[in-house]
Structure 1
């Protein structure tokens, strides 16, 4: 039987999942926000539908989807897929939801795993936790399997520290003890596809790499790869007043995300186990393409 995947949100992460799934023989469809993008994706073999979260998709858009993944961030009005298409989600036997490790809140640099109680402090993380519960309710009502992937910062080609170093916007902010976890978009996609093989129940997976690190360390490594001078570290007290509220909110929490369950139970071998391998691969690929 053909495996059919429907992806809410064919953006940075959703397109990487779609690309990997198609290479593995899946039929793939999904949503995007503009008709122009939908047209381009259809030309590439992905049945894309414009979706802005204000109205339900037509039933036929889902086709015979066996698996559904949602990558769309919720807002103050909740998860748009749940809000408009809840009645259609029971058509699939497997549901995947891309959430955030922000639901764990601040742990002052301590480690968190899937057994850690969620204590979100940021509004966007509280919205994600509420969306997780909404997807749990759908799975419970329909008998579908649900897999929640909690993600830290996502990076990859065209969206990494290398780009910020090149355009001169990288700032090495020195906040002692501050660390972030990350995941390369290719490892995110591989983990999502691997999770589709788990057919029963509800599971939570922390999808993160092996080495939480400060942004200052990552910027320094990116500069070394590009042969650029490392910008001076800016003390947090000096940098914070000039930062946006959103940027400051990221620095208000610090945690290290364990990925033991991902590797032990899903058998994931990360292609990019740390930011070093990830940035090196991106730089090499860009060099090969003349970037």
Structure 2
């Protein structure tokens, strides 16, 4: 009972991977909107709290509850503002230490450039605009409350059970080399470990790229997964043809090219990646 309290918001796959890493150090409270998940959370050592980030009245019990917070909850699916994070900051305690898991999508299309955390954000779609809004709201809360905030910008998360196998089996095409985009990756287990590091070592209002060492284009990623599972590689199409056969949401992910440096998580947080590249993970499966 003397352990410090930690509040986890958005306890999905990454949050569940996080619980075993932190349950000996903290008394953990995990927020869920689904009462059916309470037993699962208890089994991993968390105290489940049923609350809905879209319903401010249900968040009152979180006020002053914990001095450490991991915010994994995504913004709403529509609009350009993150109302969930706005509701949350109204009840978060002052002088807390928070890690917020954002997205690399806040940078928009960078033409394949390699860059560090000093690059300005340039969101190109509503999904990324909501994340930029959340970061801005949390920075304002941290300044007003005297809280410690670290922001992790996270790319595509993968794991053994989080690979594009259904896409490959469906034969969804990828872009030809000339039109293809650079993508960034992080294994779910490595992301959980990075969150732990940031919780204890993260700088005040500091941004970190939670990405691995992979340097590959999107189609090369699909090819690597296909080869590892003995599936057919996806067909390649020029962008003009591809946009006629994939959904707008999928096309948006295939329209932004960037490469993010991860030196800061290694220098400042002391991160040592378990899966330095996607190829390493696939070779160990």
Q: 2:22: which partner in 1?
A: 21
Q: Is the 8 A contact 1:175 1:236 kept in 2?
A: no
Give the Cα–Cα distance (whole angstroms) in 1 for the partners of residues 81 and 93 of structure 2. 19
**Larger displacement relative to structure 2 (49-58 or 141-150):** 49-58
> Deviation of residue 211 (structure 1)?
1.5
Distance in 2 (alpha carbons) for counterparts of 1:234 and 1:197: 46
Which of 169, 173, 176 is equivalent to 2:175?
Answer: 173
Partner Cα separation in structure 2 for residue 39 and residue 191 of structure 1: 27
Q: Secondary structure at the match of 1:125?
A: helix
- Which residue number corresponds to residue 46 of structure 2? 46
Structure 2 residue aligned with 1:210: 213
Match of 1:252 in 2: 255
Name the structure 2 match of 1:7. Answer: 8
Change (3 A) 1:237 1:143: same
Partner of 1:145: 148
Contact 1:6 / 1:62 at 8 angstroms: preserved in 2? no
Question: Hey, what does 2:107 align to over in structure 1?
Answer: 104
Unaligned runs of 5+ in 2: none
Task: Provide the residue aligned with 2:34 in structure 1.
Answer: 34
Query: After superposition, what is the alpha-carbon deviation per residue over 1:247-289, rounded to whole angstroms, capped at 9, x for unaligned?
Result: 11112211101101111111111111111123334xx2xxxxx
**Partner-residue secondary structure (3-state), 2:91:** helix
* CA distance in structure 1 between the partners assigned to 2:270 and 2:216 by the alignment: 24
- The size of the alignment, in residue pairs, is 280
Residues 80 and 126, structure 2, Cα contact 8 Å, conserved in 1: no
TM-fit CA distance, 1:29: 1.6
CA RMSD of aligned residues (A): 2.3
> Offset of 1:162 from its aligned partner?
4.2
- Conserved? CA contact 1:145–1:202, under 8 Å: yes
Cα deviation for residue 126 of structure 1 reads: 1.3
- Separation in structure 2 between the aligned mates of residue 38 and residue 230 of structure 1, nearest angstrom: 41
2:130 aligned with 1:127? yes
Secondary structure of 1:135's partner? helix
Q: Residues 189 and 240 of structure 1: is their aligned pair in 2 closer, same or farther, counting only changes over 3 Å? A: same
Take 2:251 and 2:231, find their aligned partners in 1: how far apart are those partners? Answer: 26
Cα deviation code 1:172-219 (max 9, x no counterpart): 332524111111111111111001112662211011111231221112
